[in-house]
Amino acid sequence: MPFPKSLTVAAALLLLAACAEPQTAESVSAAARDNFGKRIAPYQDHPSAEMIADLGQPDRESPTSEGGRKLVWERHDTKTIQDQVLPLVCTITALTNDQDVVFFVLAGGNTLYCSDIFGADRA
């Protein structure tokens, strides 16, 4: 007795769903890191003015011993999970050379928050 076509299709869909990888916390944070990295990477080897135009004035700025600048942007927020208020922080630090060209960018903090705050596409 042949199987009805709808049963065959349903079985195929169930098989595909069973083979699909679930999104783990690690895969979600990896995607956020990738998104953030793609967003921040273009500032490398470009004048700091481009970064400042996109991210706004840095929260802190100081000269470096090499004649460049250290620029720091920092964002804070909170998120409530199971009645607990958790702090969220994202800090971006950029170092420039004496020509004010960004040669190093470092981000720290909550990966997902950094991606949400600083990872949006440029306007």
Other Cβ atoms within 10 Å of 59 Cβ, number: 13
Share of the chain above pLDDT 70, in %: 73
Q: Is the pTM of this model over 0.85?
A: no
Report domain extents, the chain.
Answer: 44-123
Q: What's the pLDDT at 96? A: 97
Q: Which two tokens stand for residue 80?
A: 């409530």
When the pLDDT of each residue in the chain is averaged and rounded to a whole number, the result is: 80
Place of tokens 């840095």: 58
> What dotted CATH number matches 44-123?
3.30.1450
- Under 8 Å between Cβ of 113 and 33: no
> CB under 8 Å to 122, separation ≥6 — which residues?
39, 54
Q: What's the pLDDT at 18? A: 47
What is the Cα–Cα distance from 104 to 49, expressed in whole angstroms?
Answer: 15
